[in-house]
Amino acid sequence: MLKIKPVILAAGKGTRFKSKKPKVIHKILGKPMLWYVINAVSPLALDDVIVVVGNQRELVIEEVKKFCKNCKFAYQKEQLGTADAVLSSYEYWKNFDGYIIIINGDTPLITSETLKKATEYLEKLVNYSQKRKKDLHIDEDIAGIILTTKVDNPYGYGRIVKDKGGVIQKIVEEKDASFEEKKINEINSGIYLVYAPYLAQALKKISNDNAQGEYYLTDIVEVLNQEDKKFYPYYVENPQELEGVNDRWQLSKAEKILQERILKQHALNGVSIHNPSTVYIEPDVKIEQDVEIFQGCSLKGNTVIGEDTVIHENCVISNSVIANGVEILPNSVIEDSTIEEKAQIGPFARIRNNAKVGKNVSIGNFVEVKNSIIDESTAAKHLTYLGDAEIGKNVNIGAGTITCNYDGVNKHKTVIKDNAFIGSDTMLVAPITVGENAYTGSGSVITKDIPDNALAVERAPLKIIPDYAKRKKGKKKDESC
Ligand code: UD1
Ligand code: CA
């Protein structure tokens, strides 16, 4: 196995993004662009992953540290070009007798499988060349490989110039390319595997004498070629994987491709996704078999969806655990919460802030549940707010019930015990406890604890005035006379 150290280039400004933020931390499906590149390369790494930062480096470092524990940062003071960027990381690999895999931070579509295959190919090349050297005394060295592909429109990419034997002679950047060179449609992906001692030698010889006045990393090819140290292309069949993201439209297109990969994976694992082009699922979401997801749904963060659950149209679920056999009806929003087996949620329900909705519970339309625990088989089917509440089993919450949890300064708790019956339009002014089997009368404002089995009703006496309408109309007539 070859020894590999990754160096990721992420110091550039990303001018074409037209953004206050550095390009490489822009999000794709909720994760910074660099997350994809680092994840793809990490399985190959011997130990650390080196990220070259520069432009707004504090922001980039902060984002990367959130998910990469073995990332080390090299600082490129001025963005003088990709060769200078690699040189800035020299301290990390100056004594390394292995291969540096260099990847531009803006190629989030690259996969681990392709990188692994490329590494295996390089290993074969190195072994073959060493054999030739030994057996035939041919003085030729492998400097490394470059991942290339063919595209219909190579505009903007470095073009691969090869000799008849397939060895790369040089890479010509768009702005420096001649008319003939511009016609070449084999492009440089910005992913290279280079023998570290040769890389060090070559970097020191590169000048910035070119159309952009930059130190081009691509020039290592020509420099080493002159010393009979050869680069071979590793041809990637699927050009999509090598697409660079230089502006926001390319970002949108990359997101679409990554989204399709995720959806396909879930579908092949036994999840039915209706109208997939409208469904959004982030990379860390876990979904079990026989889940059904309808159009317009978004599943975000560390969400887990259990077997046989059905999520109907336009639901948004983030960082939540949904158990087996749950039904979530259209337009419901669930955040940072847990829903247990066979619960029924929505339509138009909102569940948030560590809410725990128990087995067989029914949370209906226009019901908001915040930071509350609701035990088995309880129902709150219409127009209700349950905040900071602890609700027992088999409780019926009538339409329009509100836990008045906030006194303007502090939040207070409402406890409703098993089998209680809360009449419609009850205001429960917290802190308050409703006892087991207790009742509240409709329209009551409850300000005191209710003992078990009691009925609490708070209402002004009902007054019925006979013939009120007739009298009122008569009066009006009189007045108009
Ligand atoms: C580069 C390649 C080009 C290749 C293309 C693939 C060079 C000279 N050209 O062009 O051959 O086809 O990628 O996508 O390398 N960066 C730094 N420091 C710098 C400049 C850039 O860290 O001083 C980083 C950027 O953050 C970015 C990466 O290097 O992640 C590539 O830079 P970019 O300006 O996008 O290069 P391209 O013009 O796309
Ligand atoms: Ca680029």
Ligand 1 centroid – CA 13 distance (Å): 10
The atom of ligand 1 lying closest to the CA of 217 is 15
pLDDT band at 136 (very low <50, low <70, confident <90, very high): confident
**Residues 18, 24, 29, CA angle at the centre, nearest 5°?**
100
CATH topology of domain 248-456: UDP N-Acetylglucosamine Acyltransferase; domain 1 (2.160.10)
Q: What is the pLDDT of residue 29?
A: 98
SS (H, E, C) 129-192: HHHHHHHHCCCCEEEEEEEEEECCCCCCCCEEEECCCCCEEEEECHHHCCHHHHCCCEEEEEEE
145-160: pLDDT as tens digits: 999 999 999 999 999 9
* Separation between Cα atoms, residue 328 and residue 346, nearest integer Å: 6
For residue 217, give the DSSP letter: G
Which ligand ends up closest to the CA of 158?
Answer: 1
* Separation between Cα atoms, residue 439 and residue 255, nearest integer Å: 53
* Separation between Cα atoms, residue 142 and residue 136, nearest integer Å: 16
Residues lying with their CB under 5 A of ligand 2, a single-atom ion: 106, 244, 246
280-313: pLDDT as tens digits: 999 999 999 999 999 999 999 999 999 999 999 9
Q: What is the pLDDT of residue 46?
A: 85
Determine which helix (DSSP H) or strand (DSSP E) holds 344, and give its type and residue range.
Answer: strand 344-345
SS3 257: helix
pLDDT band at 480 (very low <50, low <70, confident <90, very high): very low
Whether the CB-CB separation of 192 and 144 falls below 8 Å is answered with yes
Give the residue, by CA position, lying nearest to ligand 1 atom 35. Answer: 246
CATH 3.90.550.10 positions along the chain are: 4-242
What percentage of residues in the chain have a pLDDT greater than 90?
A: 94
The answer to whether the CB of 55 is under 6 A from ligand 1 is no
Ligand 1 centroid – CA 36 distance (Å): 17
What's this model's pTM, rounded to 2 decimal places? Answer: 0.93
Whether the CB-CB separation of 427 and 456 falls below 8 Å is answered with no
How many C-beta neighbours within 10 Å does residue 144 have? 27
Return the higher-pLDDT residue of 479 and 373. Answer: 373
Q: Is 266 a known active-site residue?
A: no
* Separation between Cα atoms, residue 66 and residue 277, nearest integer Å: 30
CATH 2.160.10.10 positions along the chain are: 248-456
The CATH number assigned to the domain with range 4-242 reads 3.90.550.10
* Separation between Cα atoms, residue 122 and residue 140, nearest integer Å: 15
**Residues forming a β-bridge with 172:** 159
* Separation between Cα atoms, residue 372 and residue 240, nearest integer Å: 46
> Is the pLDDT score of 38 beyond 80?
yes
- Pairing state of beta strands 186-195 and 99-104? antiparallel
Return the higher-pLDDT residue of 135 and 311. Answer: 311
411-457: pLDDT as tens digits: 999 999 999 999 999 999 999 999 999 999 999 999 999 999 999 99
Q: What is the pLDDT of residue 479?
A: 53
SS3 395: coil
